[in-house]
Amino acid sequence: MIALVDIDGTLLHGRPVAHGLGLIAALRDVYGVDVGEADLLAASPGGRTDLQIALLMLEAAGVPEPVAMAGLSAWTERAVARYLEVAGDHPVPVAAPDAAPAMEALAAAGIPAALVTGNIRAIAHHKLGLAGLGGVFHDREGGYGCDAADRAEVVRIALRRAGLGPAEGVVIGDTPRDVSAAHAAGCRVVAVTTGHFGAAELQGADAVAANLLEAVRHAIDLEPR
């Protein structure tokens, strides 16, 4: 079994302001579109991949799909650079208070952990480093928001990198999109209420937990399939 863990709202708490600003600035740079934070919020970013967020914002700005797709590689690289420019100007990410014991519990149970996140890879690991979780996850493992626009495909990519099938994966995340993506990829999922969604909105999960450590315990207790 492998635990596939989300970042924002799950491992890290607080609004990722610098991350969002980096995505916006890169859209302006690469595509020349006049977008701002209101456009980002209109894309309903919670649980989406960075690629999907970019494509939704470009569609809303009237950029033709072939043009949007052609620029995504350059946009991804530029988004990392723009994020790094402003990361020091905003509150740093805060690790979930039980992140360390949660990861220790997985290790003690012999269950490896990898990231499944909508974040671009380099942004993901920089944010984790700022929060004191650098080195917990290997950057060549897991699935990222620069791997695919569709979150379910990000889960599948993480499983392929681990050499495992969907029956062996348990996703831990905080949004309804984490839940639906996990199930679409054939995995089970434990949802945490530490993000913007409560238990009622996360009832599609195989289990719902109040915090990360509780979520990990649920994941450990799930019967193998």
pLDDT digits (tens, 9 = 90+) for 153-199: 999 999 999 999 999 999 999 999 999 999 999 999 999 999 999 99
Same domain, yes or no: 140 and 209:
yes
Looking at the DSSP bridge assignments, the partners of residue 114 are 4
DSSP letter, residue 5: E
Q: Are residues 61 and 118 in the same domain?
A: no
Using N-to-C axis directions, what is the helix angle for 17-31 and 50-60, rounded to 10°? Answer: 50
> Letter for the amino acid at 46?
G
Q: Are residues 64 and 133 in the same domain?
A: no
pLDDT of res. 198 = 97
Q: What is the reported pLDDT for 225?
A: 63
Same domain, yes or no, for 183 and 103?
A: yes
Cβ neighbours, 10 Å, residue 185: 24
Q: CA-CA distance, 11 to 55, in Å (whole number)? A: 26
Instruction: Verify that 161 and 206 share a domain, yes or no.
Output: yes
Picking from 89, 121, 146, the residue at the C-terminal end of a domain is 89
- Residue 75 CB neighbours (<10 A): 25
The dihedrals phi and psi of 90, each to the nearest 5 degrees, come to -135, 160
Sheet holding 113-115, edge to edge: 113-115, 2-5, 169-173, 188-192, 207-209
Q: Residues 83-88: what's their mean pLDDT?
A: 97
Looking at the fold, whether 125 and 210 belong to one and the same domain comes out as yes
Among residues 71, 89, 107, the one where a domain terminates is: 89
Question: What domain range is 130 assigned to?
Answer: 2-14+93-221
Q: Which residue, chain included where needed, has tokens 């991350």?
A: 19
Confidence of residue 92 (pLDDT cuts 50, 70, 90): confident
Whether residues 55 and 112 fall in one domain: no
Burial 201-216 (b: 16+ CB within 10 A, else e): ebeebbbbbebbbbbb
The DSSP letter of residue 169 is E
Residues 72, 105, single domain; the answer is no
Q: Would you say the pTM of this structure is higher than 0.85? A: yes
Question: Do 40 and 97 reside in the same domain of the chain?
Answer: no
